[in-house]
Amino acid sequence: MSKNEARETTIRQLYTELNKQGSNGEYEKALKSANKILALDQSEQKALQCKLVCLIQLSKFEEVIKFLDRTQPPYDCTFERAYSEYRLNQPEAALKTIQNSGIKVLPPNLKELMAQILYRLEKHEECYELYKDIIKNTSDDYDDERTTNLSAVVANLCVDGSKKELPVLREDTYELTYNAACALAGKQQFPEAEKKLRTSEKLCREFLEEDGATEEDIMDEIAIIKVQLAYCLQMQGKSKEASAIYTDALKHKTNDHALTAVASNNLVVINKDQNMFDSKKKMKAATSEQAEHKLTSKQKKLIAFNNCLLAFFTNQSDCHMLASRLGNSYPDLEFQSLLIRVSQLARDKKYKDAIELLENYSKKQPKQELEVKFAIVQLHLLAGNRKAAVEILESLGEAKYRPGVVSALVTLYLGLDNKNSASAILKNAVEWYKKNKSTAGGDLTDMWRQAASFHLRGGESETAAKSLEELLKTNPSDMKILAQLVIAYAQFNPKKAQEASKKLPALETLTTASEIDALEATNWMMIAKAVKKKMPASGKTDQSPGTPSSEIAKQKKKTVRKRKGKLPKNYDASAVPDPERWLPRYERSGYRKKRDRRVKEIIKGSQGTASGQADQYDMSKAYNQTKQSPATPAAHEMPASGPAPRQLPRKSQHKKKKGKH
């Protein structure tokens, strides 16, 4: 037998083994057999195809691309290359591979792959049109899967706020019901979404139990439904229920890293400024590299923003770096990232640096000048520079007449003790709103009311009347405003005040006799003796059905007797009363203190001193000395280091004997 014949025989035998191994799913062995065939003859196209299939089945996608680059097969391998790039989380490269292939009409397998790539790239409208075409022109056993994918695209279009007329798809499987619930959540219809998610969970459990799945497999499949349900509950304000579901999902330790990231991020949001240590652990899981490729761009953006906020609240050193990275990665969050950096600088009391950052940003983005100026005003106020804050608010142009800005300016002017400027800003605001009624908009009732009260207190009745007139136009039935207007008119135009007062209701309509009687009967602000109950003119009281007439008569006859004060037995009316009778006994001049023998005699003064000097140091006579001495300072002249001394001596208090407790 020649060498060629022997090689062909060997190749046939290897193909037989390859076919058998491929049918049994033994891809490792099949790969070895394909390599042996290619070693004997590199032009064997079937062996090349089998090798690519084996590498894909074994998830060796990098080897697939290297093999295609090295061998450059003679037949078209666009699908194999694009699929490998897609599985390596390179959807942009996979899309380019298909677009650069030169194939004008894509075959069904490339269409399916193209739809998946567009979905990963979040090009939902293109993906939606492609899936509609695939479902219309294809009929096989995978119709349910394609419909499920289409419903997922529809749900994402709802989240994106698409204005397209989207189809209503069937909901006979748990996947379709879940996607319908996601579409409702995208439209902010959370109660309806919650109901559908509970239905989806029930259908999923029933289906998997019939299929013979284990409890662990059921929990893995239900986890995504549970987390979406928790999100809907959280958006309805049911944070405790949502937190419990998120915690259970994380305890189960699912293999879906994207699901873990979403649950962890949402728990951080629920925690807010509480339980920071747990939040840091959860955020670490949310920002893991494994979850990054499976999350949507919106999810990544929200997680990055929450990570910045957490770093700020926990005062981490990398807060500036994270905020800068956030602004660079997501241009729509540039201003928010700038505010985080500015807040960190303000916390470190670096107000000048923070103001410079904001001013530089304002030059680049003039559209956000108003928001930037408000932030600068806040920084000036934190630094205690009120004048600079007032100057910036005054430079806002017509925006300074907004109610909030007017209120801030008035408060700041009053803080600077500049009532004239505060009054002027209110006057200018009133005049501006009169001229710009059509463009002003909003409810200005509170501002008119505050302006009127301020001017009335300041004695500017005419200006107050203008504000009250505008306020009365919006609330013509408010009698309180009308009464204030009458008071204002009375100070500069009595005729107008008289005309306006005619519109006020009569006093008799406001109060009744019964209300006056009840008011006089209440004793919450009066002494009980001052309260007098009014009796009817006839002198008769209303008799209750159960009270006999004899008892009422007895009650009328009862009179309060005045008892005479008792006098002592030896009382002499002609004697002059003792002037010290109201003083305590120990303060009277004739009082002698009993000597306590247990207390040793206190030596007053040192040995050899004269008796006159001893009296000087006798503290028992301090009271009489302070009365006579002109050098003793008054109480209000005492130094502020301590309280003024008591002028009167206290009663002697003996210490209690210690006893057993």
**Could you read off the pLDDT of 367-387 as tens digits, one per residue?**
888 899 999 999 999 999 999
Angle between helix axes 61-71 and 78-87 (nearest 10 degrees) is 150
Q: Residue 256 carries which DSSP code?
A: -
The answer to whether residue 212 sits within a structural domain is: yes
Mean pLDDT, residues 137-155 taken together = 89
Q: Is the pLDDT reported for residue 632 higher than 60?
A: no
Region 190-218 average pLDDT: 93
Query: What is the reported pLDDT for 441?
Result: 55
Closest CA to 27 of 73, 60, 69: 60
Is 11 within the bounds of a domain? yes
Q: Tell me how far apart the alpha carbons of residues 555 and 536 are, in angstroms, rounded to a whole number.
A: 16
Q: Are residues 14 and 144 in the same domain?
A: yes
Q: Is 95 left (phi over 0), alpha (psi -120 to 50) or beta?
A: alpha
* pLDDT above 50 for 490: yes
Contacts of the segment 131-138: beta carbons below 8 A, 24+ positions apart: 134/108, 138/108
DSSP 8-state symbol, 491: T
d(CA 593, CA 219): 92
Per-residue confidence (pLDDT) for residue 129, from 0 to 100: 92
Q: Which of 416, 346, 419 is nearest to 382 (CA)?
A: 346
Does 184 share its domain with 103? no
For the stretch 390-427, pLDDT in tens is 999 999 888 888 888 888 888 898 888 888 888 888 77
Residue-wise DSSP of 353-417: HHHHHHHHHHHH-GGGHHHHHHHHHHHHHHTT-HHHHHHHHHTTGGGGGSHHHHHHHHHHHHHTT
* CA atoms in the 13 A half-sphere facing the CB of 563: 3
What pLDDT is stored for residue 337 in this prediction? 93
Instruction: State whether 214 and 83 are in the same domain.
Output: no
Domain end marker among 148, 182, 201: 148
Residues 49 and 108 in one domain: yes
Q: Do residues 71 and 188 share a domain?
A: no
18 and 109 part of one domain = yes
Q: For residue range 110-123, what is the model confidence (pLDDT) as tens digits? A: 999 999 999 999 99
Residue 497: is its pLDDT beyond 60?
A: yes
Q: What residue ranges in 170-235 does DSSP mark as E strands?
A: none
**Do 191 and 236 touch, CB atoms closer than 8 A?**
yes
The SS3 of residue 117 is helix
Give the tokens for residue 227: 């987390």
Choose the final residue of a domain: 148, 179, 201: 148
Is 615 inside any structural domain? no
Find the domain containing 210 and state its range: 170-248
Cα(128)–Cα(133) distance, rounded to whole angstroms? 9
Of 511, 532, 560, which one is at a domain's C-terminal end? 511
Same domain assignment for residues 83 and 33: yes
Report how far apart, in Å, the C-alpha atoms of 208 and of each of 111, 218, 224, 254 are: 31, 6, 15, 17
Q: Is residue 190 part of a domain?
A: yes
Instruction: Please tell me whether residues 177 and 106 are part of one structural domain.
Output: no
The per-residue pLDDT of the chain, averaged, comes to: 80
CATH of the domain at 34: 1.25.40.10
The answer on 89 and 9 residing in a single domain is yes
pLDDT of residue 637: 40
Q: The CATH number of the domain where 503 resides is what? A: 1.25.40
Max mean pLDDT range (71-80, 275-284, 508-517, 589-598): 275-284
The Cα diameter of the chain in Å comes to: 165
Nearest to 467 by CA among 480, 454, 483: 454
pLDDT single digits (tens) 502-548: 777 776 666 666 666 676 666 555 554 444 444 444 444 444 444 44
Q: Do both 50 and 109 map to the same domain?
A: yes
Digit-coded pLDDT (tens) for 311-363: 998 888 889 999 999 999 999 999 999 999 999 999 999 999 999 999 999 88
Percent helix, strand and coil across the chain, each rounded to 5?
Answer: 65, 0, 35
pLDDT band at 635 (very low <50, low <70, confident <90, very high): very low
- Extract the tokens encoding 508: 């008799």
How far apart CA 61 and CA 55 sit, in angstroms, is 7
How many CB atoms are closer than 10 A to CB 311?
21
Q: Nearest to residue 87, comparing CAs of 128, 107, 57?
A: 57
- In tens, the pLDDT along 564-597 reads 677 777 777 788 878 888 888 888 887 776 655 5
How sure is the predictor about 266, in pLDDT bands with cuts at 50, 70 and 90?
A: very high
Query: What is the SS3 assignment for 316?
Result: coil
What pLDDT, on the 0 to 100 scale, is given for residue 519? 65
| CA–CA separation, 356 and 323 (whole Å) | 17
Model pTM?
Answer: 0.67
Alpha helices in 239-296 (DSSP H): 239-251, 257-271, 276-286, 289-292
Q: Does 270 fall in a domain?
A: no
pLDDT at residue 442 is higher than 70: no
Question: Does residue 644 carry a pLDDT above 90?
Answer: no
- 50 and 133 within one domain: yes
- Residue 274 — very low, low, confident or very high, per pLDDT cuts 50/70/90? confident
Average pLDDT over residues 97-103: 90
Residue, of 227 and 612, whose pLDDT is higher: 227
Cα separation, 223 vs 226, in Å, equals 5
* Domain count of the fold of the chain: 3
What is d(CA 270, CA 306) in angstroms, rounded to the nearest whole number? 12
Choose from 172-181, 612-621, 647-656 the range with maximum mean pLDDT: 172-181
> What is the residue-wise DSSP string for 427-475?
HHHHHHHHHTHHHH-S--HHHHHHHHHHHHHTT-HHHHHHHHHHHHHH-
Q: Which amino acid is at 65?
A: I
Asked if 126 and 10 sit in the same domain, the reply is yes
Residue 246 has pLDDT above 60, yes or no: yes
